[in-house]
Chain A
Amino acid sequence: MERASQANKELVSIPALLKRNAKLFADRPAYREKEYGIWQCWTWSETAEEIESLALGLLELGVAEGDFIAIIGRNRPYFYWSMVAAQCVGAVPVPVYQDSAAEEMAYVLEHCGARFAVVQDQEQVDKVIEIQDRLPQFEQMIYVDPRGLRKYDHTKLHQFDKLQERGRSAREKHQKALDALRDKLDYSSTCVMLYTSGTTGKPKGVVLSNRNIIEASKSSSEFDALSRDEEVLAYLPMAWVGDFIFSVGQAYWSGFCVNCPESTDTMHADLREIGPTYYFAPPRVFEMQLTNVMIRMEDAGRFKRWLFEYFMDHARKVGPAILDGGSVSAWDRMKYKLGNLCVYGPLKDTLGFGRVRVGYTAGEAIGPEIFEFYRALGINLKQLYGQTEASVFVTLQPDGEVRNDTVGVAAPGVELRIAENGEVYYRSEGVFEEYYKNPDSTASTKDSEGWVATGDAGFIDENSGHLRIIDRAKDVGKMAGGQMFAPKYVENKLKFYPNILEAVVFGNQREECTAFINIDLNAVGNWAERNNIGYASYQELAGHDAVLGTIRGHVEEVNASLADDPMLAHCQVHRFIVLHKELDADDGEMTRTRKVRRGVISDKFEDLLGALYDGSDEIFTTTEVTYEDGRKGSISATLKVASAEVVTPRQQKVAAE
């Protein structure tokens, strides 16, 4: 197999990699997108041509070196091309979360001072027009989907393919300038600017150079021996650093094909059709898929259920060992093969994981049972630990050394250091240049020697040499009694239950721990249907007594398992509330990457938090909600405050309630 990784002094920018790929892999697929029911394909040489004509078009529009170009859309080849075309003319692409409300978008566009934007459709065009008054520097917009835009004033609005057309006809005029701009790019020029989702405060623009992206892509591609034959499905937000590394950095470095789904709703069907060999998903996606499998198994016939349970038990016992090349008896191996024929194979195929060679999860801790489930099926799922500021990679789990409670060893070229207070620091070629227009934050995150503070507390596991992350450094607190309070650890235990979508645990500086819980509408809804429990809304289902009982059961089980851990026995959840609404990024309760914002939640639901600690049984509350189109409304409900039994650990006494 020919590897694409001959280190070359000339390969110092994404456009340079594109030029190489267009020559080396000319007729191999670079992008696929399902449209009109079939997979449309662009080879590397076609891709180079598309990007070239767009770059010429951008010059024709007057894009200048150093401009920022916002990219707002879901994963489609056109937007990946736009990013590379922007780089070709010396501009900086800034992908933006396309589901952000106009307000959030205004902040980003204003902060980076974008003069141009490439957007998906009418919805995004409208959003940008809405905020245009606040963006004095903003000039022109390019859209991909013309639908509904015919009547718009087209003096500052351009259709993507028409712009390419204009670029092609102006080739003679701009070709020299384009070549000059492209040749000027080097390792230190900016590759992309990505806004961190920000669990606290305003998003920060992380400037990543070509060195950052290419070095990170190169070493990580080598780590997992990625080749031009990989297939990936690009479905994670384009504004997220992971997608940029996987779908641009690694794809251009290794020369593999990026597949774009037809629409967000068809993601799972498309995943199955493509059968990626290299796959990344946040724990949430794996959780959701497992929940779906479990729901469907509950509906299956008795024999099928028995078959599933029998072989899954076996897989859990020997599957991970077989994957890691451990010693497993011949009989167990045989049985595993049979299981593969009856259960694992078909299941993997249904999930779209039939061909996965390397799979990663990151972003949040994954429930051990979820992780083991996929490993047991024979899917090489591993964990990595990364950050936007590191161009993703800080630590990775090598094949054969996969554990559910660690995040692996330092990635190639990364140095790790644990500070006195337990905070993890790293230094590597991937370390970001700066936060745009924010020298204070840059200085407080990155020191003069290039060490970056992760904001996470962790330690190096003595047995394995792997890094273990405990929690966000600022979230780890102390309870009133002085014991360590690690909310995320407890939340993850709760979230493993399919019925629980989200949990937020409180207890810092308090006598005892309490929690807010979000039910999973899918799982609980299905259960309600099978048990003839009628409900009209999320709110009604969440407030149902039987649901409360089920959740209480889960909380008590978690308490029991916490009681076994002397370090965390005091983090047992004494009282909890099942929330009447789903925590949502539109309401600012979560980040766009779906991490809970503790500060916002405890302020917003202050009354509920009070009720958790003042011993009341019920509380009436009104909450403001933001709809997808930005309008606001409110919902009110009377919520029950439930108590859960706590288990007294054998060794120590728990403060009585």
Chain B
Amino acid sequence: MLDASEGYTTEDGRKIGGVVMEMKNITLRFGGVMAIKDISFDIREGEIRAIIGPNGAGKSSMLNVISGFYHPQEGEVWYQGKKRPSMKPYEVAQQGIARTFQNIALFEGMSVLDNVMTGRLRQMKSGLFAQALWMGKAEAEEVENREFVEKIIDFLEIQHIRKTPVSRLPYGLKKRVELARALAAEPSILLLDEPMAGMNVEEKEDMSRFVLDVNDEFGTTTVLIEHDMGVVMDLSDRVVVMDYGEKIGDGTPSEVRSNQAVIDAYLGVSHD
């Protein structure tokens, strides 16, 4: 571990471990636009870490840096005690970082089951040839993976749509399928990009429960971006607040809530 500190205990009694990922002085520019300005924060094992901020604050960019989709011009990403070299997204995924997308990215024509199965790709070791001919260890591997996927399906309560093509599902369920696919990869860090966007209250409550249950059941470290302040404050252990590419706050929900810079960014500053 990079950081030897022992972590902390949350209000509800969960033990949070040491640092698994650390962002050090990240700066990301698109041409002249400064998307992220010199931001540093860490992610600890087993915690739910939220990144919040108004529109255009650079939250998604930050997530894309973590998932290896963007490469920051300056700064370093440390993962599991090692500095991470510049990587392709699939290499990052190989390292055990899975994500969902703000604008759902599922295979629309495929069934829910098949979609979730794709999340197991990282665990499939048999070659293309063996898989095509259903030979050798391909079958055993498929059975094993299917079993794992079925447990996820059970966990997220989507049994009734197992065979339904994704294109026929309502939005809220698609989001849940995406979460299922990410979970199927057995990630050590789960990145959720606005998991509750566009949901009604009931769907949000369901999704929040799933996020908490996932963390509770599998101990998955979760990083989420979210707009809904209520949801963020209820769910997360620590929050990073961004505004115009800068970090303006970092701490527990109650610390962040009383931070003047955060209040100004969110509620606006009165002009008179």
Contacts and interface: CB of A to CB of B under 8 A. Distances in A.
B188 interface: no
B151 interface: yes
A265 B213 contact: no
Contacts of A148: 209, 212-213, 216-217
A150 B15 CA distance: 13
B177 to A, nearest CB: 15
Interface in B81-136: none
A464 to B, nearest CB: 43
A262 B160 CA distance: 9
A263 B12 CA distance: 31
Given A147-B155, A148-B213, A37 B160 contact: no
Contacts of B209: 148
B31 interface: no
A37 B162 contact: yes
Contacts of B147: 36
A265 B159 contact: yes
Contacts of A35: 154
B160 A269 contact: yes
B13 A37 contact: no
Contacts of B212: 148
A147 B213 contact: yes
Interface in A123-169: 147-148, 150-151
B153 interface: yes
B159 A263 contact: yes
A147 B214 CA distance: 9
A147 B146 CA distance: 21
Contact of B160 (A147, A150, A263): A263
A262 B216 contact: no
Contact of B217 (A36, A38, A150, A262): A150
Contact of B216 (A37, A151, A269): A151
Contacts of B151: 36
A36 to B, nearest CB: 4
A269 to B, nearest CB: 7
B150 interface: yes
B168 interface: no
B14 interface: yes
Interface string B1-41: 00000000000111000000000000000000000000000
A266 interface: yes
Contact of B153 (A37, A147, A151, A269): A37
B228 interface: no
A151 B14 contact: yes
A5 B160 CA distance: 39
A99 to B, nearest CB: 16
Contacts of A266: 159-160
A151 B13 contact: yes
Interface string A214-245: 00000000000000000000000000000000
B255 interface: no
Contacts of A263: 157, 159-160
Interface in A268-327: 269
Nearest to B152: A36
Nearest to A627: B202
B157 A36 contact: no
A147 B159 contact: no
Nearest to A37: B150
Contacts of B155: 147
Contacts of B217: 147-148, 150
A428 B146 CA distance: 53
Contacts of A147: 155, 213, 217
A265 B160 contact: yes
B12 A151 contact: yes
Interface string B210-221: 001100110000
A57 B12 CA distance: 30
B159 A150 contact: no
Contacts of A262: 159-160
B170 to A, nearest CB: 14
A37 B143 CA distance: 12
Given A147-B213, A148-B213, A150-B216, A36 B150 contact: yes
B204 to A, nearest CB: 14
Contacts of B162: 37
Contacts of B146: 37
Considering residues A35, A36, A263, which has the most beta carbons from chain B within 10 angstroms of its beta carbon?
A36
A259 B209 CA distance: 30
Nearest to B157: A263
A419 to B, nearest CB: 48
B68 to A, nearest CB: 32
Interface string A85-109: 0000000000000000000000000
A36 B150 CA distance: 5
A323 B272 CA distance: 85
A499 B159 CA distance: 29
Nearest to B148: A36
Considering residues B153, B160, B213, which has the most beta carbons from chain A within 10 angstroms of its beta carbon?
B160
Contacts of B14: 151
Interface in B131-176: 146-147, 150-151, 153-155, 157, 159-160, 162
A37 B217 CA distance: 21
B176 to A, nearest CB: 13
A262 B150 CA distance: 12
A38 B149 CA distance: 13
Nearest to A35: B154
Interface string A34-48: 011110000000000
Interface in A251-267: 262-263, 265-266
Contacts of B213: 147-148
A299 to B, nearest CB: 15
Contacts of B153: 36-37
Nearest to B13: A151
A263 B216 CA distance: 23
A265 B157 CA distance: 10
Nearest to B163: A269
Considering residues A37, A38, A265, A266, which has the most beta carbons from chain B within 10 angstroms of its beta carbon?
A37
Contacts of A36: 147, 150-151, 153-154
B201 to A, nearest CB: 11
Nearest to A262: B159
Nearest to A267: B160
Contacts of A38: 150
A150 B212 CA distance: 12
A488 to B, nearest CB: 34
Contacts of A265: 159-160
A262 B209 CA distance: 21
Contacts of B159: 37, 262-263, 265-266
Given A36-B147, A36-B153, A37-B153, 9 more contacts: A35-B154, A36-B150, A38-B150, A147-B213, A148-B209, A151-B12, A151-B216, A262-B160, A263-B157
Interface pairs A-B: 5 shortest CB-CB: A265-B160, A36-B150, A37-B150, A266-B160, A262-B159
6 contacts: A147-B213, A262-B159, A262-B160, A265-B159, A266-B159, A266-B160
